[in-house]
Amino acid sequence: MSGLLDAVAAVLLLLGALLCLTAGLGLVRFHDVLSRMHAGTKPQVMGVLLILAGAAIRLRGSSVVWMLLLVAVFQLLTAPLAAHLVSRIAYRRRHVRRDLLLVAEIGFEGFGQPLPADAPQGDEPAEAVTDTSAPSGGSSRAREG
């Protein structure tokens, strides 16, 4: 019985480690901040949860298991918030690959204004643009290529 449980724990630990690896790969391979945040939340959180589950099975009966539960809860609570804040700031500073977006129903200036296909990009807060009706003013900052 204990051997079987250890085997289950090993499988969970390996699966979790694999998911964390793909999260790291995603951070390197994805093309803009918004996509990278996907890698930083979903496979990452799932990987940590699997590792915690594996550890809980392996350490069964120990009081440490309760702390693992806390780690899981905090991971679930904090990871989405961090991803949300980072991607929101990145978007307002125009770190986005418009060509990879099938549709973009929100502009840099906020809701109600879709993002045009030739939106200027670069590290500049959207608030810096005062005249939103003349996007050509920012065309010098347009992405090369």
Partner 1 sequence: MSERIRRLVHELPVLGYLVVVWVLLWGTWSWANLLAGAAVALVVTHALPLPQVEQHARFRPWAVLRLTVVFLGELARSSAEVAWEAVRPGGGRSTALIVVQLRTDSDLLLSLVVEALTLTPGSIVLDLDREDRIIAVHMLPVRNHDDLERRRRGVLQFEDRIVRAFGRADDIAALDRLPDPAGIGRPPDATGGADAIDEQRGGRR
Q: Identify which of residues 9 and 34 has a Cβ nearer to partner 1 in the complex.
A: 34
Q: Identify which of residues 80 and 135 has a Cβ nearer to partner 1 in the complex.
A: 80
We find the least distance from the C-beta atom of residue 20 to partner 1, in angstroms, to be: 10
We find the least distance from the C-beta atom of residue 130 to partner 1, in angstroms, to be: 10
Distance CA 21, CA 132 (A): 42
Q: Residues interacting with partner 1, by CB under 8 A?
A: 19, 22-23, 25-26, 29-31, 34-35, 37-39, 41-43, 45-47, 49, 63-64, 66-67, 69-70, 76-77, 79-81, 83-84, 87-88, 91, 100-106, 109-113, 115
Distance CA 38, CA 27 (A): 9
We find the least distance from the C-beta atom of residue 13 to partner 1, in angstroms, to be: 16
DSSP 3-state of 110: strand
Q: What tokens does 12 get?
A: 């969970």
We find the least distance from the C-beta atom of residue 74 to partner 1, in angstroms, to be: 9
Q: What tokens does 64 get?
A: 């440490």
Q: What is the DSSP string of 46-84?
A: HHHHHHHHHHHHHTTTSTHHHHHHHHHHHHHHHHHHHHH
Q: Identify which of residues 47 and 54 has a Cβ nearer to partner 1 in the complex.
A: 47
Specify the amino acid at residue 18.
L
Q: Identify which of residues 1 and 80 has a Cβ nearer to partner 1 in the complex.
A: 80
Report yes or no: 90 and 52 within 8 Å, Cβ to Cβ.
no
